[in-house]
Amino acid sequence: MNFENRVALITGAASLEGIGMSIARQLSKRGATVVLADINKNGVEAGANEIEGKGGKAYAVQLDVTDQKQVQSVVEEMVEKVGKIDIVVNNAGVSRPSRVQEITQNEWDLVLNVNLKGPFLLTQAVLPYMKENRYGRIVNLSSVSGKRGGGVFGGSHYSAAKAGLTGFTKAVAREVASYGITCNTVAPGLIGGTDITGGLMTEEMEQAIKLDIPVGRLGQVEDVSYAISFLASEGAGYITGEELDINGGSHID
């Protein structure tokens, strides 16, 4: 996979141990210019410094994916700086293990806004540029919870958001295919070492989840970033509207 002269914008990329940063490393070492976006400014700056220290080209931008004005401004700014955005990875996400009767309206809005509204806003903002260039790769991070209705870590709001994201992906894929733009989803199981659980994952919960994974371990960020790199490549141009499961066999359909 060669990403020379490609520009990739990756949300939720503030954690050096997270999926977003792992994606950035994979794309950068194959030649892409990467734009790391997150509400955590210090985190994306540290990530960009790491990539540049290894000879890559990276930009760090502070972004609240739920704020339409910020999203539009960041996209316009980066297109002005680097000329285009070829690849978007909607990785920003948040999860809470609340049961349905415990979910407040504020928590529901937070989970739906970050996981579903954010990808919509960013997709909407980049599409005019991708259409003009007649090329684009959009990859959305869904979850096994959106397919099986929870049972991993997130509550019903998380499952609803991720299921909605899969439907959104398929609809977008149909709309933009004629412009050389693909839109796909990956649906990971629980990935260890990331911030998606907000520090709420206990050792007991983790062990219980492992018992339901046939390969016997939690996922690693590289399990996800390798797959996303493929879907973001030129070679995946005939794959669109698909959902790729990355869960160690915990859900097979």
Active site residue 59: no
Which residue of the set 158, 179, 226, 238 is catalytic?
158
Torsions phi, psi of 34, nearest 5?
Answer: -115, 140
Tell me the catalytic residues. Answer: 158
